[in-house]
Homo-oligomer: A and B are copies of this chain.
Amino acid sequence: MNYLTLDRNTLLALEQQLTQTYNHFKQKKLQLNMARGKPCPEQLDLSSGLLEGLQGDYQAEDGTDCRNYGGVAGLPEARRLFAELLEVEPDEIIVHGNSSLALMHDLIARALLLGVEEGTPPWSRQPVKFLCPSPGYDRHFAICEFYNIKMIPVPMREDGPDLDLIEKLVATDELIKGIWCIPKYSNPTGITFSDTVVSRLAAMKTKARDFRIFWDNAYAWHDLTDEPDQLKNILTACKEADYPDRVYIFSSTSKITYAGAGLAMVASSKKNIDRLTKQMSIQTIGPNKLNQLAHVRFFKNAHNLRLHMQKQAALIRPKFQLVFDLLDAELGDKGIATWSRPRGGYFISLNTLPGCAKEVVRRAAEAGVVLTNAGATFPYGLDPEDQNIRIAPTYPPLAELKTALELFTVCVQLVSIEKILQDRKLLTDNFYQKQAQIG
């Protein structure tokens, strides 16, 4: 039953029926929040004993007392563990505090003030621009907006951002200094960059000598299926393309152990990492090494971390499945929405008919279900078609998620029908207006 082809009366009847259902939801006075990609308590429980596991032994493998000062680049054993996981060398990674966002933010602040390499000027001397594959991650865009970096949206495809457009832009505009990428199980669309996309990003000619890829590999190990997406190693690709310093790779254990108390890391060429270590030693005497020690002791090796992620997947896979099932059942044949079916990560990205997203989110909030702000996934919060909505299914318990999604699908239908009716009215009005003018 495609809503776009139904006649006015059928749509009006449906609208009435859906309004009743909507009001019914409203009376329940729901208070559900699905705004952010937060792990649920059961996911956090998987890391039980992480801190307590130190058991009074605070010595790192090289004898370092992790309670004391020092070690800006992170504990050697922590660097080794995450180097293996990110497929880089231990001297190509810094393991830091609890926030990869802070690593990204700070890198950009330093780039603005000092430039990113010897012999290139501070970015802030000119009106810098960043490429922003969209929909993307609102917190990336917020950093750019905060520092007045002009954002250029780039469409996201099934295999990554539109490289034809990107190659054209970076080849001619020296003010384009960087690009945000979430290359695996991208936020929010869930796609993974193809090998070709990775290779082209690594090898493309950029007018700016100091162009940088901000590679936020936040979901590197966050598979939901037994056939995980494979991501080509961009640092290797950059080296092969003779741009070894082009990429900063970020990741964290925020969605592996504790969202607020995990470890964050940045990987890059040894040259970049050495420079960054020196710069960071101006900022801090060192990260919280006790937390690094606790993490290394908890996982012991990369294999165990991957096993841990299978437990994570087992907890959140049913939630993704529930969303898929409900969307299929309620919106599947109606022609008013499309959505992603990611094989990993934290989000489902749904597109409504153009011009409906904001109103759907508003309507859901009015009935007690808070979603990510419509538009948030685009630079400056401006979704040009007003149609993208990010669904974050991990946090709510299944029963709540079900209720929230049921309400959500009602909102999508209701707003879509109103939009269809309104659009038709505009068409008809225009028709009669033109008739009158001709007459």
Residue positions of A touching B, CB distance < 8 A:
36, 38-39, 41, 44, 47-49, 51-52, 54-56, 58, 65-71, 97-99, 101-102, 105-106, 109-110, 112-114, 124, 139, 142-143, 146-147, 254, 258-261, 279, 282-291, 294
Q: Which residues of B contact A67 (CB under 8 A)?
A: 44, 47, 258-261
Is the CB–CB distance between A105 and B142 below 8 Å? no
Q: Which residues of B contact A97 (CB under 8 A)?
A: 97-98, 288
Is the CB–CB distance between A105 and B289 below 8 Å? no
The 10 closest A-B pairs by CB, nearest first: A261-B290, A67-B258, A99-B284, A105-B283, A44-B67, A69-B259, A102-B284, A146-B282, A261-B288, A98-B288
Is the CB–CB distance between B105 and A282 below 8 Å? yes
Is the CB–CB distance between A56 and B52 below 8 Å? yes
Is the CB–CB distance between B55 and A68 below 8 Å? no
Cα–Cα distance between A168 and B75 once the two chains are bound (Å): 48
Q: Which residues of B contact A143 (CB under 8 A)?
A: 282-283
Closest to A125 in B: B124
Contact residue among B44, B54, B68, B286 (Cβ-Cβ distance under 8 Å from A51): B54
Is the CB–CB distance between B291 and A69 below 8 Å? no
Q: Which residues of B contact A66 (CB under 8 A)?
A: 260-261
A55, A106, A113, A142 interface centre (most CB from chain B within 10 Å): A113
Cα–Cα distance between A67 and B146 once the two chains are bound (Å): 28
Q: For residue A240, give the distance in angstroms from its CB to the closest CB of chain B.
A: 33
Contact A261/B289 with A51-B52, A67-B44 known, Cβ cut-off 8 Å: yes
Cα–Cα distance between A164 and B259 once the two chains are bound (Å): 51
Q: For residue A92, give the distance in angstroms from its CB to the closest CB of chain B.
A: 23
Q: Which residues of B contact A294 (CB under 8 A)?
A: 51
Is the CB–CB distance between A44 and B65 below 8 Å? yes
Contact A260/B41 with A52-B54, A113-B147, A285-B99 known, Cβ cut-off 8 Å: no
Q: Which residues of B contact A68 (CB under 8 A)?
A: 38-39, 44, 258-260
Q: For residue A149, give the distance in angstroms from its CB to the closest CB of chain B.
A: 11
Is the CB–CB distance between B38 and A254 below 8 Å? no
Is the CB–CB distance between B52 and A261 below 8 Å? no
Cα–Cα distance between A106 and B97 once the two chains are bound (Å): 15
Cα–Cα distance between A101 and B284 once the two chains are bound (Å): 6
Q: Which residues of B contact A47 (CB under 8 A)?
A: 67
Is the CB–CB distance between B288 and A101 below 8 Å? no
Q: Which residues of B contact A41 (CB under 8 A)?
A: 65
Is the CB–CB distance between B261 and A101 below 8 Å? no
Cα–Cα distance between A166 and B44 once the two chains are bound (Å): 53
11 A-B pairs, CB-CB below 8 angstroms?
Answer: A51-B54, A51-B294, A52-B52, A67-B261, A69-B259, A98-B284, A99-B283, A101-B283, A105-B283, A146-B279, A260-B289
Cα–Cα distance between A56 and B50 once the two chains are bound (Å): 10
Q: Which residues of B contact A106 (CB under 8 A)?
A: 106, 109, 283
Contact A110/B109 with A52-B56, A68-B44 known, Cβ cut-off 8 Å: yes
